[in-house]
């Protein structure tokens, strides 16, 4: 069986400085992987490169998504194929109602896949259903995208999009940043509801705390642009106790 | 960043082919020889069968014009215009006096069809989203310089509304024209307005009698068609006591090599408790990828809130023209009168825009509101220039101004030049201005959700201008939204 995501010996530079030095990672459908590591270890760079953010230069290695060369695809094509990045800091888009944004994005993805676009009534029905299950009030959908949203609302909006687009790979970039414990639990519940045998998740975080709510199958430790250790969920607890220092020495 | 570079590359690629409305209609035209002289003014006046007073009015303006010099203060640059190298009159050859639309040159009708303009009543009713009840649009189509068709006349007549080409109004309603023409924009006003007064060819005339709410939106579509023809439209709209009218003006033009001068004059008058809402969507040919060949749009638009409690509201969506020089203004003469200016100005390629408004507070407790959204892409320059002034007797004058500029790429410029003068100590003026770049992070967020770069820019820009779009009548808002996307097409990576 082909893995959902295969990152092979990936080397990435930003402004001529190498950030990832040959990173390898395999994620199968149905699995939840956590990537932990200190600041500057390259976690966010990895998530940006998978999603196709401009400004990064891939100098070596490859990324296969469902067996296809992901790096050859434009970012919107990747989205339509099922790559979803939940942003650490979701941006605000003033004047664009959340509802309009969701509909435009969903229909763009469906169109790219050759599927029929949702009609307005069908779309509204679907959004209401999904938003309801996440406890998102209708009023929030009428506001500008993330404009004036609290930290918790912004993250819930990311989960809402994930639930609506049904991607096969979800990358959650530091979902816990800026959230209090209640908001974290709500967002994590939303994510857990999306766990499924044909979907994989990559959870990027500094802290073990998030992994109490989203329990991973595999934990990777990243340091200085590489995966230096992989293990089961107990690895996260071990890290919490010992810190990252030992791995930094190892990577160097 | 990569996307910015891409934007820049795409901007370089824009060419004439991408101007969607760049087609030309082959019809014979009846035009005056090149150049400007008293004889040409007489020729135009004679062509229109004008009464003697009108000719005198024109000649006076012409003589005045000879003594004036071209204004140079705006932040625009262009080669000197040779006013003797232009045609000042051109009319599609009429078969005879037009009684119904069926008699109009089918090619002209075809042109309008290409533009998607509902000239026939049936077409006007098709595909039009009507927000409230049975509001309809009446189209007075200006093809080059002569109004060739007017629809909905009968229904308007019933309401007592006069809506006709101004050339006809001069003959049929001389008392009204004499009373109002040149009272808002005098023949001596400025270089281009004076030129217009001497040689104006045609335009719309609207008179709404006291207490009448015009039963439909009135609309004129302008097209510039004849090579090297200056287009000198003259529009005069009068809303008598307690009346209301909404007027829509939309423009597109075929592409061409020579620069074309457009110097229109629009005058609005509102009496006590009356209101005029004037909306414009302008999409004239902006020039090719080197900035060559676009239209010069040097327009004087002004409204006079002559009566107490009257209101004038300007809404404009400016996407075309090589150079735009335009300041739709309000003279707030009546007590408690109100002026509004809502503007979206988009510039791309080598376009230059210097636009804004003047709110002149003369009466007591007069209020005004200015919302301006400028979007600059490519190598364009986009300037907001506005004047807000309160005269000594304008007790309690209030103004709120918000100017927001959005930059796409790093080779364009946005400028804000507000002039604020208060001669009355009770005046309260507020001015807010912001300038921002379209953010890479916002674009990436949209693209990560499946939108193409172009869709992402369209979405973000439409969000940016939402406050102004909402001011347009529904039919126009849909068209404007499309135009905004078209005018940014190819300019964004």
Compute and round to an integer the Cα radius of gyration of chain B: 22
Q: Are B386 and B421 in contact (CB under 8 A)?
A: no
User: By three-state DSSP, how is residue B479 classified?
Assistant: helix
CA distance B78 to B383: 16
Q: What length is written for chain B?
A: 493
Tokens matching residue B214: 């015009």
C-alpha dist (Å) from residue A196 to A4, A68, A191, B36: 13, 22, 10, 79
- Which of A53, A79, A94 lies closest to B449 in CB terms? A79
Burial of B143 per CB tally in 10 Å (0-12, 13-18, 19+): buried
User: By three-state DSSP, how is residue B136 classified?
Assistant: strand
Where does B128-234 have alpha helices with state H? 153-159, 166-172, 174-180, 191-199
Which residue from A193, A180, A165 is spatially nearest to A86, judged by alpha carbons? Answer: A165
Q: What is the DSSP string of A50-114?
A: HHT-TT-EEEEEEEEETTEEGGGS-HHHHHHHTEEEE-SSPPPEEEEEHHHHHHHHHHHHHHHTT
Give φ, ψ of B9 to 5 degrees.
Answer: -60, -45
Q: Are A219 and A231 in contact (CB under 8 A)?
A: yes
- Residue B102 CB coordination number (10 Å): 9
Q: Is B442 within 8 Å of A79 when comparing Cβ atoms?
A: no
ipTM summary value: 0.95
Q: Is B441 within 8 Å of A91 when comparing Cβ atoms?
A: yes
Residues in chain B with CB shorter than 8 Å from the CB of A85 are 448
CA distance B28 to B143: 12
Tell the residue number behind the tokens 């023409």, with chain if given: B181
A5 CB-near residues (< 8 Å, 6+ apart): A25, A26, A27, A50, A63, A64, A65, A169, A200, A202
Residues in chain A with CB shorter than 8 Å from the CB of B462 are 95-96
Measured between CA atoms, the residue of chain B closest to residue A165 is: B449
Q: Are B289 and B325 in contact (CB under 8 A)?
A: no
CA distance B41 to B420: 39
- Which of A51, A75, A104 lies closest to B459 in CB terms? A104
Q: Is B450 within 8 Å of A54 when comparing Cβ atoms?
A: no
Measured between CA atoms, the residue of chain A closest to residue B442 is: A91
Which pLDDT does position B293 carry in this prediction?
76
- Measured between CA atoms, how close is B278 to chain A, in angstroms? 24
Which residue from A197, A178, A18, A170 is spatially nearest to A88, judged by alpha carbons? Answer: A178
Q: Are A83 and A70 in contact (CB under 8 A)?
A: yes
CA distance B293 to B258: 5
Cα angle at A79 between A73 and A81, to 5 degrees? Answer: 75
Q: Is A91 within 8 Å of B1 when comparing Cβ atoms?
A: no
Q: Mark the ranges of chain A whose per-residue pLDDT is less than 50.
A: none
A125 CB-near residues (< 8 Å, 6+ apart): none
Q: What is the pLDDT along chain B (493 residues), one digit of tens a residue?
A: 344 444 444 444 443 334 555 555 555 556 777 888 888 899 889 888 899 999 999 999 999 999 999 888 888 888 888 888 887 877 655 434 445 556 556 665 665 555 555 554 433 333 333 333 444 556 555 554 454 445 566 778 889 999 888 888 999 999 999 999 999 999 999 999 999 999 998 888 999 999 999 988 887 654 444 444 457 889 999 999 999 999 988 755 444 545 578 899 999 999 999 999 999 888 777 777 777 778 888 999 999 999 999 999 999 998 888 889 999 999 999 999 999 999 999 998 888 999 999 999 999 999 999 999 999 988 899 999 999 999 999 999 999 999 999 998 888 999 999 999 999 999 999 999 999 888 889 999 999 999 998 889 989 998 999 888 888 887 677 777 777 777 776 665 4
Tokens matching residue B130: 């009507």
Residues of B with CB under 8 A from a CB of A: 1-3, 439-442, 444-453, 455, 459-460, 462-467
- Which of A54, A91, A144 lies closest to B2 in CB terms? A54
Which pLDDT does position A203 carry in this prediction?
94
CA distance B97 to B139: 18
Q: How many angstroms separate the most distant Cα atoms in chain B?
A: 68
Cα angle at B477 between B310 and B463, to 5 degrees? Answer: 105
C-alpha B400 chain-centroid distance: 23
Residues in chain B with CB shorter than 8 Å from the CB of A161 are 449
Residues A5-251: name the CATH superfamily: P-loop containing nucleotide triphosphate hydrolases (3.40.50.300)
Which residue from A138, A218, A54, A7 is spatially nearest to B2, judged by alpha carbons? Answer: A54
- Which of A51, A80, A108 lies closest to B455 in CB terms? A108
Whether residue B57 is contained in a domain is answered as yes
Q: Is B447 within 8 Å of A75 when comparing Cβ atoms?
A: yes
Q: Are B215 and B89 in contact (CB under 8 A)?
A: no
What total of structural domains would you count in chain B?
1
CA distance A103 to B449: 11
Q: Is B444 within 8 Å of A75 when comparing Cβ atoms?
A: yes
Residues in chain A with CB shorter than 8 Å from the CB of B464 are 94-95
User: By three-state DSSP, how is residue B91 classified?
Assistant: strand
Which pLDDT does position B83 carry in this prediction?
85
Whether residue B493 is contained in a domain is answered as no
CA distance B376 to B353: 9
User: By three-state DSSP, how is residue B6 classified?
Assistant: helix
Q: Is A101 within 8 Å of B460 when comparing Cβ atoms?
A: no
Which region holds residue B228: left if phi is over 0, alpha if psi is between -120 and 50, else beta? left
CA distance B450 to B45: 59
Measured between CA atoms, the residue of chain B closest to residue A83 is: B448
Q: Is B452 within 8 Å of A108 when comparing Cβ atoms?
A: yes
- Which of A54, A96, A109 lies closest to B459 in CB terms? A96
Domain range for residue B445? 2-488
Residues in chain B with CB shorter than 8 Å from the CB of A90 are 445
CA distance B370 to B388: 10
- The DSSP output letter for B246 is E
Helix (H) or strand (E) holding B418: strand B413-422
């Amino acid at each position: 069986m082909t893995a959902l995501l295969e990152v092979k010996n990936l080397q990435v530079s930003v402004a001529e400085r190498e950030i990832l030095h040959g990173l390898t990672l395999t994620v199968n459908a149905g699995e939840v992987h956590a990537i932990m590591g200190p600041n500057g270890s390259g976690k966010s760079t990895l998530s940006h490169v998978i999603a196709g953010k401009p400004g990064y230069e891939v100098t070596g290695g490859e990324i296969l998504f469902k067996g296809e060369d992901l790096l050859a695809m434009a970012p919107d094509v990747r989205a339509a194929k099922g790559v979803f990045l939940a942003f650490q800091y979701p941006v605000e888009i003033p004047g664009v109602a959340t509802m309009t944004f969701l509909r435009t994005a969903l229909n763009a993805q469906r169109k790219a896949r050759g599927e029929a676009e949702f009609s307005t009534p069908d779309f509204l029905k679907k959004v209401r259903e999904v938003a309801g299950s996440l406890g998102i009030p209708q009023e929030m959908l009428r506001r500008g995208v993330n404009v004036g949203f609290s930290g918790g609302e912004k993250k819930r909006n990311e989960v809402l999009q994930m639930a609506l687009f049904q991607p096969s790979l979800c990358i959650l970039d530091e979902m816990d940043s800026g959230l209090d414990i209640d908001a974290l639990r709500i967002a994590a519940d939303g994510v857990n509801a999306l766990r499924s045998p044909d979907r994989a998740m990559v959870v990027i975080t500094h802290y073990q705390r998030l992994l109490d709510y989203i329990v991973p199958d595999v934990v990777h430790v990243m340091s200085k642009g590489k995966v230096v250790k992989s293990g089961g969920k107990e690895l996260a607890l071990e890290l919490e106790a010992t810190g990252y220092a030992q791995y930094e020495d190892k990577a160097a | 960043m990569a996307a910015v570079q891409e934007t820049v590359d795409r901007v370089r690629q824009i060419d004439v082919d991408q101007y969607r409305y760049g087609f030309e209609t082959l019809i014979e035209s009846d035009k005056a020889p090149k150049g400007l002289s008293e004889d040409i003014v007489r020729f135009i006046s004679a062509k229109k069968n004008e009464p003697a007073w009108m000719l005198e009015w024109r000649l006076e303006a012409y003589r005045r014009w000879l003594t004036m010099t071209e204004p140079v203060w705006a932040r625009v640059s262009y080669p000197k215009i040779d006013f003797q190298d232009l045609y000042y009159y051109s009319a599609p050859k009429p078969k005879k006096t037009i009684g119904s639309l069926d008699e109009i040159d089918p090619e002209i009708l075809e042109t309008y069809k290409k533009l998607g303009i509902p000239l026939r009543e049936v077409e006007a009713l098709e595909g039009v989203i009507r927000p409230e009840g049975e509001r309809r649009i009446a189209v007075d189509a200006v093809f080059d310089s002569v109004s060739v068709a007017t629809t909905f006349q009968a229904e308007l007549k019933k309401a007592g509304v006069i809506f006709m080409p101004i050339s006809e109004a001069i003959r049929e309603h001389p008392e009204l024209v004499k009373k109002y023409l040149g009272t808002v924009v005098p023949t001596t006003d400025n270089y281009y307005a004076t030129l217009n007064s001497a040689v104006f060819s045609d335009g719309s005339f609207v008179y709404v009698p006291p207490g009448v709410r015009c039963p439909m939106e009135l609309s004129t579509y302008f097209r510039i068609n004849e090579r090297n023809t200056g287009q000198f439209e003259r529009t005069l709209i009068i809303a008598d006591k307690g009346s209301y009218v909404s007027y829509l003006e939309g423009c597109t033009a075929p592409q061409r090599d020579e620069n074309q001068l457009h110097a229109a004059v629009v005058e609005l008058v509102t009496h006590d408790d009356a209101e005029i809402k004037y909306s414009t969507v302008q999409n004239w040919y902006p020039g090719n990828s080197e900035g060559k060949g676009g239209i010069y749009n040097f327009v004087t638009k002004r409204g006079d809130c002559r009566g107490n409690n009257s209101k004038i509201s300007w809404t404009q969506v400016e996407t075309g023209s090589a150079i735009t020089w335009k300041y739709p203004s309000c003279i707030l003469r009546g007590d408690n009168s109100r002026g509004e200016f809502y503007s979206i100005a988009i510039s791309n390629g080598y376009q230059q825009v210097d636009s804004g408004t003047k709110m002149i507070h003369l009466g007591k407790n007069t209020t005004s509101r200015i919302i301006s959204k400028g979007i600059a892409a490519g190598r364009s320059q986009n300037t907001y220039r506005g004047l807000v002034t309160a005269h000594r007797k304008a007790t309690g004058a209030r103004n709120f101004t918000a100017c927001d500029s959005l930059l796409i790429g790093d080779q364009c410029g946005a400028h804000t030049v507000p002039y604020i003068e208060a001669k009355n100590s009770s005046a309260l003026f507020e001015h807010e201005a912001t300038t921002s770049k379209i953010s890479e992070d916002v674009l990436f967020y949209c693209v990560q959700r499946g939108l193409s770069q172009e869709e992402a820019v369209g979405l973000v820009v439409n969000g940016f201008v939402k406050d102004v779009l909402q001011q347009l009548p529904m039919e126009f808002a849909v068209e404007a939204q499309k135009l905004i996307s078209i005018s940014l097409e190819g300019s964004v990576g």
